[in-house]
Structure 1
């Protein structure tokens, strides 16, 4: 009878740990993993080649710029 009682309590403890890991720890792990859908589209500045979020970039024709100064200066000549 003692062995049955010991196995019963081991099964209860294992089930409790499983439930705790499944329902308590899972949401925290899900919050830590970044999602690809949440990433903002990036564009490259046509003057300095720095990548900036598209929402913060300035567009002129088909070219993107990271700041008003680079927009006014235009495309940089020379090697990039």
Structure 2
């Protein structure tokens, strides 16, 4: 009989603990959703010397209007 009483007390304690956790979770505001840190799309250009595609903002323009991926390729393409 005393084991039944101990078992009942344990079940009541577990029930009260779970109930308080459930109430705590409901009262807590939901975490903010993380927005992806993705920038706006950029125009891509092709290097006139090696064919590498790179963002237009990183490209180096040559004297003839062609774009290059580096100063070395601009010199190689001009000469």
Please report the TM-score for the alignment, with normalisation by the length of structure 2: 0.49
